[in-house]
Amino acid sequence: MSDYHHTKITVDNVPVDLLLTEDEVKDAAERAIVEAEHVPSNANSAWPVECRNTKCGLLKWIMGKCCDCR
């Protein structure tokens, strides 16, 4: 059995519960970086998508430990 991560999104004003595998989360996070123009840059953002072209890995970048994005 896989470990799942729960999240909730709203689609057409309807809340939807999702269970994602770690691989699905990683794929979606990478997609958010590549398609940064679709991610709102506001207080609800998890990380600064505008600083995505760095020499550090994705995990360091997301955790705020990127040497280019301090």
User: Residue 30 pLDDT > 70, yes or no?
Assistant: yes
The pTM score is 0.58
Closest CA to 54 of 35, 70, 38, 36: 70
User: Residue 34 pLDDT > 80, yes or no?
Assistant: yes
If one compares 3 and 43, the residue with the highest pLDDT of the two is: 3
Instruction: Pull the structure tokens for residue 10.
Output: 């709203």
- For 15, residues 6+ apart whose C-beta sits below 8 A from its C-beta are 8, 9
Instruction: Please count the other Cβ atoms lying within 10 Å of the Cβ belonging to residue 66.
Output: 20
Work out whether strand 5-11 and strand 14-20 pair parallel, antiparallel, or are unpaired.
antiparallel
67 belongs to a structural domain: no
The pLDDT value recorded for residue 33 is 78
Read off the pLDDT of residues 43-58 as tens digits, 9 standing for 90 and up.
566 665 555 555 666 6
69 belongs to a structural domain: no
14 belongs to a structural domain: yes
Which residues span the domain enclosing 43? Answer: 5-62
The domain tally of the chain equals 1
32 belongs to a structural domain: yes
20 belongs to a structural domain: yes
